[in-house]
Structure 1
Amino acid sequence: MSRKITFLTLFLWLMTVTFPVIAQQKTDTTYTFRFVPQKDMFYVPWNGNDTELARLLECIENNKATILDGKLPLLVDGYCNSLGGEAENLATAKIRANRVKSELIIRAKIKEENFITRNHVTEGDFVTVRLTVPVKGTAVTDAEAEARRKAEAERLETEKRAEQERLAEEQRKAEEEARLAAEKAEAEKTAQQNKLTDTPSETKITNDYHFSLHANLLRWATLTPDLGAEWRICPSWSIAVNGSWTSLSWSDKERRYALWEVAPEVRYYMGEKKAWYLGAMFKAGQFNYKLSETGKQGDLMGGGITAGYQLRLNKSLDLDCNLGLGYLNVDFEKYEVIDDVRVRRGNETKDWYGPINAGVTLVWKLF
């Protein structure tokens, strides 16, 4: 009997000593909210999130006064590891945590300062909210609340500093990329300018002159001196005039070849190099041919369309190849020479449609 009394007394003493210690302990309650991998939207009805949210709101309501006083912060941890890089995972974890906090702020009427937030790039795709709820009859001391507020302030300062460093690094990279792009563009521009300098005949306008003299080499080859001039009004338009004259006789003047012609022309130059052209030409002149017993002497007049191309030889010389098609009217008389006297043998008039001019002309650009 004495042993039973002694054992009961010892048990009561242990309970007296141990119970206050147990009463001062705190219980941690964790609530987990699941997220779709690679997404940051908070779907409340999905994967049991609605049940967890209801439990958490009930716990907040039961401890709301303590939470609002700052003595019982909500510990929020955001997680993400389903994206490619650490920075992307950390940013998504932060967004997820903020979405959960926004839901609690709206539904439970609490404030941002009532949370302590941390974000992680490991473990999975979820957000946890943890409360260290004291057992009934105990309270969080002012020192503990102050320590928690200080820890939260330090955390926010660290996150702010990290965000500033990240932005500074992104700006530095952007400036470096812009500098490299500018250097590349400048190098390409310089190379293009060098190319233009090295190949002027391919890139500059071939006919960059204002006034030039012409000599039709085909006419000279037939012993018919031919000279002309061209005034370049602008890069696309010019006015030209050509003249030919010759007077030859042989076999004691029994044979004769004489003529003169004047051919004014308006030209329009085309293309990037202004080398091809189309023109409109008028031609007038007189002739005297006696290459057999019967000679022909008369007038010619007509005109047509010309086309040509100027090939650059050097800075001062071009070679102009051209052809004219159109109409000529020839009015002439036939004659014979008897005892050095011309005897008329009749008149004729002919119309000609076809080539009226051809030339391989040397162009000398004066200025």
Structure 2
Amino acid sequence: MMLRKFILFFFLWFQFGTLCAQVTVKTNLLGWGTASINGGIETKVSAKSTISLFGSINPFEFGNHKQWKHWLLQPEYRYWFCEPFYKGFIGVHTLGGEFNAAGIELPFDIFPELADYRFQGWMAGGGISFGYQWLLNRHWNLEASVGVGYLYVKYDKYPCASCGTRLDKGHKNYVGPTKAAVSLVYMF
């Protein structure tokens, strides 16, 4: 019985293991610029496509009542124009997570009240992405990608970073950038 399971496992691994032979791990260097610990894994699922799961977390509070606390997960499907992990791709991603942010001025006037109030809540959405990977050597790549899409954001509004009295609650429908990355990629 054990031998049959081993033979079946070996046969399935040999048949389907080559589909996922390429695996990469990556980190977004731009995310580290916001003190966000981040990383992802991506695997080949066909001759021209990959799937990935990327995550980010920031548990830190900064000086002057600034904080950008969050956790975020972002699964993505990518279609590569040349071959996986080389040159250009287009992707479809979803994302979701929770946040607790205050005292931050975001570019493009996104959420302008965030500079003066604290917002705590969750978000979910998705979008499309475009990117390119450059081969650095046998194991290392550099990737640049951007994404645009939609987010539903549900929040509670507070007067300051440490205050506990809720001023308001609400939601926002956001359309715009949902992803920006310059990632260092390691290929196994």
Q: TM-score, normalised by structure 2?
A: 0.76
Q: Which residue of 1 aligns with 2:50?
A: 238
Runs of 4 or more above 3 Å deviation = none
Residue type at the aligned position of 2:164:
R
In 2, distance between residues paired with 1:329 and 1:302? 6
Spell out the pairing of 1:100-111 with structure 2 (5 A cutoff).
Answer: none
Report if the CA contact (8 A) 1:337-1:343 is conserved.
no
Spell out the pairing of 1:175-324 with structure 2 (5 A cutoff).
Answer: 210-251=22-63, 254-271=65-82, 274-291=86-103, 294-324=117-147
Deviations 1:84-137, CA, capped at 9 Å, x for gaps: xxxxxxxxxxxxxxxxxxxxxxxxxxxxxxxxxxxxxxxxxxxxxxxxxxxxxx
In 1, distance between residues paired with 2:91 and 2:63? 41
In 2, distance between residues paired with 1:220 and 1:269? 26
Deviations 1:315-366, CA, capped at 9 Å, x for gaps: 000111111111111111111359x650100012111112110101111001
Change (3 A) 1:345 1:267: same
Residue type at the aligned position of 1:360:
V
Q: Which residue of 1 aligns with 2:110?
A: none
Higher strand proportion: 2
**Alpha-carbon deviation of 1:251?**
4.3
Higher helix proportion: 1
Q: Which runs of 5 or more structure 2 residues have no equivalent in the other structure?
A: 1-20, 104-114
**SS of residue matched to 2:30:** helix
**Alpha-carbon deviation of 1:276?**
1.2
Q: TM-score, normalised by structure 1?
A: 0.40
Residue type at the aligned position of 2:82:
G
In 2, distance between residues paired with 1:272 and 1:232? 10
Q: Which runs of 5 or more structure 1 residues have no equivalent in the other structure?
A: 1-208
Report if the CA contact (8 A) 2:150-2:173 is conserved.
yes
Spell out the pairing of 1:1-367 with structure 2 (5 A cutoff).
Answer: 210-251=22-63, 254-271=65-82, 274-291=86-103, 294-336=117-159, 341-366=163-188
In 1, distance between residues paired with 2:132 and 2:70? 27
In 1, distance between residues paired with 2:133 and 2:59? 30
Change (3 A) 1:312 1:248: same
In 2, distance between residues paired with 1:222 and 1:251? 14
Deviations 1:200-242, CA, capped at 9 Å, x for gaps: xxxxxxxxx6101010011011211110000112331111010
**Alpha-carbon deviation of 1:250?**
3.8
**Alpha-carbon deviation of 1:306?**
0.9
Higher relative contact order (CA 8 A, sep 6+): 2
In 1, distance between residues paired with 2:141 and 2:163? 47
**Alpha-carbon deviation of 1:272?**
6.5
**Alpha-carbon deviation of 1:294?**
2.1
In 2, distance between residues paired with 1:250 and 1:319? 30
Change (3 A) 1:210 1:224: same
Residue type at the aligned position of 2:134:
L
In 1, distance between residues paired with 2:55 and 2:182? 15
**SS of residue matched to 1:249:** coil
Report if the CA contact (8 A) 2:149-2:178 is conserved.
yes
- Choose 1 or 2 for highest CA Rg: 1
**SS of residue matched to 1:218:** helix
Give the RMSD, CA atoms, in angstroms: 2.0
**SS of residue matched to 2:126:** strand
Q: Which residue of 1 aligns with 2:8?
A: none
